[in-house]
Amino acid sequence: MQFVVRRGAALALFAVLAALAACGGGGGGGGGAPLAALSAPVASADEPIVASSSVAGQCAAPRTGIDPDTGAAFPDQRGTLATEKSWVRGWIDETYLWFDEVPATLAASDYATPTAYFSVLKTPRLTAAGRAKDRFHFTQDTAAYRALSQNGVDVGYGAELAFLSASPPRDLRVAYTEPGSPAAQAAIVRGTRLVEIDGVDVASGTDTATLNAGLAPAREGEAHSFRLRAPDGSERTLTLTAARISRQPVQNVSTIATASGPVGYLLFNDHLATAEAPLVAAVNQLKSAGIADLVIDMRYNGGGLLDIASELASMVSSSAATTGAVFERLQFNSKNPFRLAPAQATLPFHASSRGFSVPAGQVLPRLGLSRVTVLAGPDTCSASESVVNGLRGIGVTVNLIGGSTCGKPYGFFPQDNCGTTYFAIQFQGVNQQGFGDYSDGFAPTCVVPDDFGHALGDPAEARLGAALALRSGGACPAAVAPNKDEMALRKSEAAGQPYLVRAPARESRLLARP
Say whether 78 sits in a helix, a strand or coil: strand
Q: Enumerate the CATH 3.90.226.10 domain ranges in the chain, comma separated.
A: 250-412+424-480
Which CATH code is given to the segment(s) 153-246?
A: 2.30.42.10
Q: Enumerate the CATH 2.30.42.10 domain ranges in the chain, comma separated.
A: 153-246
Tell me how far apart the alpha carbons of residues 460 and 466 are, in angstroms, rounded to a whole number. Answer: 9
What type of residue sits at position 19? A
Residues 6 or more apart whose Cβ sits within 8 Å of residue 339: none
Tell me how far apart the alpha carbons of residues 249 and 505 are, in angstroms, rounded to a whole number. Answer: 14
- pTM, two decimal places: 0.83
Tell me how far apart the alpha carbons of residues 265 and 249 are, in angstroms, rounded to a whole number. Answer: 14
Other Cβ atoms within 10 Å of 100 Cβ, number: 12
Residues 6 or more apart whose Cβ sits within 8 Å of residue 342: none
Residues 6 or more apart whose Cβ sits within 8 Å of residue 65: 73, 74
> 250-412+424-480 adopts what CATH topology?
2-enoyl-CoA Hydratase; Chain A, domain 1 (3.90.226)
Closest CA to 464 of 282, 303, 296: 296
Tell me how far apart the alpha carbons of residues 395 and 349 are, in angstroms, rounded to a whole number. Answer: 14
The kind and range of the H/E element at 375 are: strand 371-376
Per-residue pLDDT of the chain (514 residues), as tens digits, is 233 323 222 223 223 333 333 222 222 333 332 222 223 333 345 679 999 999 999 999 999 999 988 899 999 999 999 999 999 999 999 999 999 999 999 999 999 999 999 999 999 999 999 999 998 899 999 988 887 666 656 789 999 999 888 778 889 999 999 999 999 999 999 999 999 999 999 999 999 899 989 998 989 999 999 999 999 999 999 999 999 998 899 999 999 999 999 999 999 999 999 999 999 999 999 999 999 999 999 999 999 899 999 999 999 999 999 999 999 999 999 999 999 999 999 999 999 999 999 999 999 999 999 999 999 999 999 999 999 999 999 999 999 999 999 999 998 888 999 999 999 999 999 999 999 999 999 999 999 999 999 999 999 999 999 999 999 988 998 876 566 665 555 555 555 566 676 655 455 555 554 4
Tell me how far apart the alpha carbons of residues 491 and 171 are, in angstroms, rounded to a whole number. Answer: 13
